[in-house]
Structures are given as C-alpha cells and as structure tokens.
A and B are shown apart, each in its own frame.
Chain A
Amino acid sequence: MNSQKHAPTAPAPFKDRVWDFFASVRLSVVLLLSLAATSIIGTVIPQNANPSVYARKFGPDLYSVLDALSIFNMYQSWWFRLLLCLLVINLVVCSVRRLKATWKVIFPKKTHFNPDRFKKAPGRIEWQVSDTAAGDLKNTIEQYMQKRYSHVQTRQEDNSWWIFGEKGRWTRLGVYGVHLSVVLLVIGGLMGSLFGFEGMMNVPEGEARRTISLRHSDETRQLDFSVRCDDFTVSHYPSGRPKEYRSDIAIMEDEKVVETHRLRVNDPLRYKGINIFQSSYGQNAAEAFTIVFTDTESGMRFEKKGAIGKTVTLPAGRGKLTVEDFSGNFAFRGHNVGPAFLANLKPASGEQRPVLLPVNYPKFDRMRGGDYAISIEDVEYTYYTGLQVTRDPGVPLVYISFALMILACYITFFMFQQKIGIELDDSGNGVRVAVAGISERKRPGIKTAVRRLAAKLQKQTNQRTAG
C-alpha cells in the first residue's frame, strides 16, 4: 500500500539510468580528458621496445606490473580500446537521444515567427524611406527575401507589415556530422588494428621476395605474390643529403609479372589491398670489382678481376687471396669505415690470415706490412631496397571520416540557422524599415548577417523610391 505513494519519487528504472549515464555530456568530458591524460603515458615511455630494455629500466617487479597493464603497448591495450568504445557508445546514445528530441524542432511542418522576439533582438537596424507607403515597399522586399531565404511569410500586425524569412536550418545537423565522423574514425581505426598488418621486406636488386617480417614482433608473413626489385637508384644533392630513392619493382604471380611500378618515397604502390612503400635501402655485396696489389717496394700495380667467393693468385705466385664477404657499413674498432671487403690471405709460405679491405681507405692494408698492399677499386655495388608493406582495411572508412569531419566542423562553427524579421511601419510621409535577426545559440555572426542584409535592402528601397 505504500508502493503507490512512493511511485512518483522512486528512482527511475535501471534501464533509463544507464541510458542517461551514456547520454550525458559529463561522461564525454570525462572520457575525452581520460583519453588525453592516458595518451601521455605512451609518449613518455617508448612503446614496443624490447622487453629486456624495460626490465633493465624498471626492475623485474615493476616491469611485470606495468607489462600486465599493457603499458608498453598501451595504444593497443584492452583498456585504451575500452575508453574508445565507451566514447563511441556515449556519442551514439547522446546523438540518438538528441536527434529524437530535436528533429521536430529542426524540421517543423510549419515555421512560426514571433514579432516580439525580433523587436527585442540585439543588433536591430532601422532606417527611414521617404515618400512611399509600407504596402508598396512590401512587395519589393518580399521579392528580395524570397530569392535568398526560405519559408518567407508576410503578414500585417498592429498596423505594420512584417516580412519574415529563414535559412540554414539544416546546419543544425552539422554537429551530428562531427560526431558521426568520430564514430567512423574509431571504427576504421579498430578495423585496421584488428585485421591489418604492418611489416618490412628487403629485396636485393634482381631478386624477388614474398616474406615480410612484421613490425613489433618476431613473426613473418607470406604474401600471395612476390615482389621483384629490378633496379634501385639513390641520388644525392651536392651536399651529400639524399635527394631521391627509387625502386623499379615488379609484382609477380605464378612466375609472371602482373604489374610494374616505379616506387618513390611518397609514391607507393597499392596492389590487391596491400600497400608497398619505399622506406629504406642498403648496399649489398658488390658483384664485380678490381683487386689491386701494390708492390710495397717498387710501387708497381697489378690488377685482377675479383668476385665474392673467388680466389685469385698473388703476383709471382706469392700466395692466394679469397674474397669472402662484404659489408656496407663495416665497424673497425668502433669506427664506421663504410663499405669493406673481408678476405682470406694464404701466403705461399706461412699462416693464412684474414685481411680487411675498406673501399674508401685504399692504403689501409699497408699496415699489415706484407710484400703487397691489397686494395679494392672500381666496385659496382648492388643495392637492396627496403620496402614497407602494409594492409589496412579500415583506411577507406577513415578517409570518409576525415572528409566528413572537416565539412561538418566547418558547418558547425561557421554556418548557422538564421531567422530574419523585417518590419515596415508607415510614419508620416514615409516608411520606417527595421531589420532584425535571431539565431539559435546567439551566434555572433547574426549581427553581421543583419548588417549586410540591411545594407542590401537600403540599396533596393532607395532605388525603388528613386525610380
């Protein structure tokens, strides 16, 4: 029997409270700030580094706690995604509820204009047109308004004529467009991180590869096609800065070339939903080069053609030299000496020993103090091209959301609904004209709009009376 008394003050049903919670702007402010605050973590702690780096930095205990919270891969963590999902739910619920409530207000069957609101509107502009009657002026202004405004109404009230017009009512949907774009963006982003991948592959000139190593993991992945690098070129500015990297690549399916492309930085190839980008390059083993033996006493030079793995005989049969390996960036006692060959020298008499032959330091081998100083010249390098390979099925959606966001932000911020009321009042030997405007949410732009309209109308009415 108490229940009836309590009914009106009883808390709203659970469902409604959940609904209210998800519809509130308060929740969205909390979510937006939480996203901003948590995002900072990942900029302070570098993400996706090697676990041993973290273990050393934080110690094993703190490391395991932070690792359990996915701090080292936070942007893909469950809790960061949860925040994003909550934002999307918040947005959808809030928009649905507001649209339900405001749709009829935004698109009413009939437009109502209340003269009193225009009389009180700030920024109202008045002027006097002489030698005419309100009834005559009415038609000129009505025609003008009909061209530029919709829902134009003309009526007589308290001995004065009123002409009303309205435009830009649809712009109130702009903010829903902004919110929709955020929803599409988050969905597109999640699609990419769930169903896409990002990896690298190094393809030597003249060869084809189909295996990529995935970023931030030790895993690899096979492509359905292979990528052959036909040519790689790098050009430099006089200062030595790189100017352009370029790879001529061919896509091969079942040993057949199905597509070719000249890949540059900022000019990727997109094939079957997979994107291939020029990302880096490196020098590979040289194909052909000249081995120079310089007699340390006479200074005489002897040249031989060399190749990796090939053995050549020293002049006068003093021994044998096998060039075994090449490195694009050899580190000698901690200094990068650039491209260098590693060879094995077997003198006619004595122990065999390794020799280092840096291309840019031809006198390097003199330090060894042998009969001949060995150096390498005329190197023809081959390069390998470093390609970034990605797939992201979310991209089309993301690009749509980009376009929508820009458009809708512009509409929201710079366009607005405006209602105009023009009063024509017979006064003595002329008409007093007053123009006023009102907008939803008191947009400052309405005053400018009224000023412009008044200026145009003044011109119209003066012409009419002059003519």
Chain B
Amino acid sequence: MPNSETLFTVVTFIYGLAFILYVAAWIFKKSLPGKTATGVLIAAAAGNAAGFVLRWAESHQMGYGYVPLSNLYESLVFFALCIAVIYLVVEYRYKVRTIGAFTSIVPFLSMAYASLPSMDSQIQPLIPALQSNWLIAHVITCFLGYAAFAIACGISIMYLIKSASASPDTGAAGRFPDAETMDELTHQMIAFGFLFLSVGIITGAIWADQAWGRYWGWDPKETWSLITWLIYATLLHARFMRGWEGRRIAYLSCLGFVAVLFTYFGVNLLPGLHSYQ
C-alpha cells in the first residue's frame, strides 16, 4: 500500500493535468478536453481526499492519531482539496467550465508547494496546545473560507479580462460566462467565504481563550485574518454604494485574496504564535 506522501505526489500531477486540460478546453473551444478535465479533476480530488484519510490512519498506526491538519504541509493538502471540491460544485451548478482554467491552478500550486523537498512532511504527534477540537473546527472553516475566496479571485480576474477586452463577446474572453453571471458568482463565493472566515476566526478565538486565556491577542496571524475580514466586509458594503460596480468589486476581491495569501504564508515571516497555517 502506498503511503499518503507518495499518493499526494501523484495527486499533484493529476491536478496539473486537470489544469492543462481546462486551459486547452477554454483556448481551443473543445468540449472533449473540457469533459476530460472535469473527470481528471474529480479523480484528483478523490485521490486527495483518500490521501487525507490515509494519513489520518497512518497517524493512528504510529500511536498518536490526530486529524491531519496540524502543520503547513497538511494544511496545503487540505486547502487544495477544499478548492477542488467547491469548484466542482460550482461547475456542476452553473455548467461553466471556463472558470476551471482560472481556479484549478490553485490546488495544483498548493500541492506542488507541499511536495517541495524542503517541506517538513513528517507525521508528528501534537504538542499540548494543538490538542483541541476547536483547533480542528478552526482550520476546517478557515480553509473553506480561503478556498471560496480563491475561486472568487479567479472569477474576478476573468471579469477584469473580459471587461478590458476590446471584443468581450467573441474570442477567448467571449467564452467566459456573461458579466452578470460572473458578478453574481463572485458575490456568492464571497458571501460563502465571509461566513466561513467569520466562523474560522471565531472558533480560533475560542480555542485561544481555552489555551491561553485570551480570545484575541493581536498577534500578526490574528491581525491579518482580521484585516482580510475587514477587506471583504468593505467589499460587501461597496456593493450598496452607487458607483461601485463590477470592476471595482473585482479589484477588491483580488485585494482580499492577496490578504488571504499574506495571512496564510506571509505572516510566517513576521514574529508570532501561529507557526504554521
């Protein structure tokens, strides 16, 4: 039986293949690569999920079972899975494959990053502070939120390309969904992401209250998640202001995702409590 790490390496390539197929289907306007892309992405997500369960089982075999969400490696794997699943649901509900060309690259990059030789992928038992169910809820909800924001960002980029294009209704950009649908989808994804980010921040605060006696300590990770939350709250309000239509919302959505990325990776360059995530 393969171990979870080998499986994840294979899954990385399948994600890469799915991304290439989605781009091919979009550029060459073919339905066969498109259908294959969906199938390949489903296979990748299934492998990803299987690897997650396998790693869980492996940690039990080693005598200290834990839900594999406790270091950067495991979070990257879970992030990829969240994006793939949420995207597949969107594709199924809206029957649009062009979005895949702009979103399926994220799980690929996430897995590729996790597969770097410098990444510490060992299964290690949990130190006392991480032994908490609140932590599991915190990581799952945060990453569902991040994943929805990633997809919203992908769609926003498509929106910006389409609105900047000289002939928005023909050519490659013409195969995008119409502007209204994209705007609506972005909003849906951001609403979903905002709810989950809120729950994520809240469960994290409850965990911190249990472990350290304070629900909020202004450490850089916490503060950056708040900054992200404030940016998306701004976006939701900007929709109610006249003059803030599609393009500006799309820019804000991209800015929000930059804040997400910084909360996830950039903060590790700053001092603080959260060593991974």
Identify the A interface with B (CB < 8 A): 25-26, 28-29, 32-33, 35-36, 39-40, 42-44, 46-47, 75, 189, 198, 237, 239, 241-245, 264-268, 275-279, 388-390, 392, 395, 398-399, 402, 405-406, 409-410, 413-414, 444
In the assembly, what is the distance between CA of A327 and CA of B131, in Å?
A: 30
Query: A265-B211, A392-B214 are known contacts. Are A42 and B223 too (CB-CB below 8 A)?
Result: yes
> Are A409 and B194 in touch, CB under 8 angstroms?
yes
A451 to B169, CA, bound (A): 29
Instruction: State in angstroms the CA–CA spacing of A43 and B218 once bound together.
Output: 8
**B124 in contact (CB, < 8 A):** yes
CA distance A266 to B128 in the complex (A): 8
Chain A contacts for B188, CB-based, 8 A: 444
B233 at the interface (CB under 8 A from A): yes
Residues of B contacting A32 with CB < 8 Å? 230-231, 233-234, 237
CB B85 to nearest CB in A, in angstroms, measures 18
Question: Are A395 and B125 closer than 8 Å at their CB atoms?
Answer: no
Query: Using Cβ atoms and an 8 Å threshold, which residues of chain A touch B230?
Result: 32-33, 35-36, 39
* CB-CB under 8 A for A237 and B211, given A405-B198, A409-B195, A444-B188: no
Which of B29-37, B107-115, B199-207 makes up part of the contact surface? Answer: B199-207
- CB B260 to nearest CB in A, in angstroms, measures 13
Contact sample, A vs B, 14 pairs, CB 8 Å cutoff: A33-B230, A33-B234, A36-B231, A39-B226, A241-B124, A241-B127, A245-B128, A265-B131, A266-B131, A266-B210, A277-B212, A278-B128, A395-B209, A406-B199
Return the chain B residue nearest A245 by Cβ. B128
Question: For residue A239, which residues in chain B have a CB less than 8 angstroms away from its CB?
Answer: 124-125
Contact B211 A277 (CB under 8 A): yes
- Contact A266:B202 (CB < 8 A) given known A32-B234, A198-B214: no
Most buried by A among B218, B241, B259: B218
A402 touches B212 (CB 8 A): no
Q: B238, A389: Cβ atoms under 8 Å?
A: no
- Given contact pairs A33-B234, A43-B267, A241-B125, enumerate 12 new A-B contacts (beta carbons under 8 Å): A28-B237, A29-B238, A32-B233, A32-B234, A242-B127, A243-B128, A266-B131, A390-B213, A399-B206, A410-B195, A413-B194, A414-B191
A29 touches B202 (CB 8 A): no
Instruction: Count A/B pairs, Cβ under 8 Å.
Output: 113
| Distance in angstroms between the alpha carbons of A399 and B202 in the assembled complex | 9
Does B215 lie within 8 Å of A395, measured CB to CB? yes
9 A-B pairs closest in CB distance = A265-B128, A43-B220, A36-B230, A390-B213, A413-B191, A277-B213, A32-B234, A402-B202, A36-B227
CA of A410 to CA of B218, assembled, Å? 26
B125, B212, B223, B259: the one within 8 Å of A279 (CB):
B212
Bound-state CA distance A33–B244 (Å) is: 15
A contact residues around B199 at 8 Å (CB):
406
Pair B128/A244 contact, Cβ less than 8 Å: yes
Contacts of A25 in B (CB 8 A): 237, 240-241
| B270 close to chain A: CB less than 8 A | yes
Chain B residues in 8 Å Cβ range of A390: 213-214
B192 within 8 A of A: yes
Closest to A390 in B: B213
Do A237 and B64 form a contact, CB below 8 Å, given A264-B128, A268-B213?
Answer: yes
**Which B-chain residue is minimally distant from A237 (CB atoms)?**
B125
Assuming the A-B contacts A33-B234, A239-B125, A241-B125, are A389 and B213 also in contact, with contact meaning beta carbons closer than 8 angstroms in the complex? yes
What distance in Å separates the Cβ of B191 from its nearest Cβ neighbour in chain A?
4
Is there an interface contact between B215 and A42, defined as CB atoms closer than 8 Å? no
Q: How many residues of chain B are within 8 Å of chain A by beta carbon?
A: 46
Residues of B contacting A406 in the complex (Cβ-Cβ under 8 angstroms)? 195, 198-199, 202
Enumerate chain B residues within 8 angstroms of A241, measured Cβ to Cβ.
124-125, 127
Q: What is the distance, in angstroms, from B25's C-beta to the closest C-beta of chain A?
A: 25
CB nearest neighbor in B for A28: B237
For residue B192, which residues in chain A have a CB less than 8 angstroms away from its CB?
413
In angstroms, Cα B226 to Cα A189, docked, is 14
Interface string of B225-262 (1 = CB under 8 A from A): 01100110110011011000000000000000001000
Once bound together, how far apart are the Cα atoms of A26 and B234, in whole Å?
10
Q: Could you say which residues of chain A place their CB within 8 Å of the CB of B170?
A: none
Chain A residues in 8 Å Cβ range of B213: 198, 268, 275-277, 279, 388-390
Q: Which of B125, B205, B216, B223 contacts A43 (CB 8 A)?
A: B223
CB distance from A172 to the nearest CB of B (A): 14
Q: How far is the CB of B211 from chain A (nearest CB, A)?
A: 5
Complex CA gap A46/B217 in Å reads 12
Task: Specify which chain B residues have a CB less than 8 angstroms from the CB of A245 in the assembled complex.
Answer: 128
CB distance from B106 to the nearest CB of A (A): 23
From residue 114 to 133 of chain B, which have CB atoms closer than 8 A to chain A? Answer: 124-125, 127-129, 131-132
CA of A43 to CA of B198, assembled, Å: 20
Q: Which residues of A contact B52 (CB under 8 A)?
A: none
Are B129 and A265 neighbours in the complex by a CB distance under 8 Å? yes
Q: Which residue of A lies closest to B187 (CB)?
A: A444
Return the CB mask of B125-146 against A: 1 if under 8 Å, else 0: 1011101100000000000000
Contact call B206/A242, Cβ cutoff below 8 A? no
Q: Which residues of chain B have C-beta atoms less than 8 A from A26's C-beta?
A: 241
Whether B149 is near chain A, meaning CB under 8 Å from some CB there, is: no
> Which chain A positions have C-beta within 8 A of B129?
265-266
> Across the two chains, which residue of chain B brings its CB closest to A43?
B220
* Residue of A244, A265, A405 with highest tally of chain B CB at under 10 A: A265
The reply to whether the CB of B176 lies closer than 8 angstroms to some CB of chain A is: no
Alpha-carbon distance A14/B210, docked complex (angstroms): 49
- In the assembly, what is the distance between CA of A42 and CA of B191, in Å? 28
* Cβ contacts under 8 Å, B270 to chain A: 43-44
Closest partner residue, chain A, to B203 (CB atom): A402
- How long is the Cα–Cα vector from A13 to B23 in the complex, in angstroms? 60
A28 CB contacts on chain B under 8 angstroms: 237
* Chain A residues, CB < 8 A from B202: 402, 405-406
Task: Assess whether B19 is interfacial by the CB under 8 Å rule.
Answer: no
Which residues, 163 to 195 on B, are CB-close (under 8 Å) to A?
184, 188, 191-192, 194-195
**Which chain B residues border A237 with CB–CB below 8 Å?**
64, 125
Residue from A198, A242, A243, A268 in contact with B210 in the complex, judged by beta carbons closer than 8 Å: A268
Contact residues, B19-44 vs A (CB, 8 A): none
With contacts A32-B233, A43-B224, A277-B211 taken as known, whether A402 is within 8 angstroms of B205 at the C-beta atoms is yes
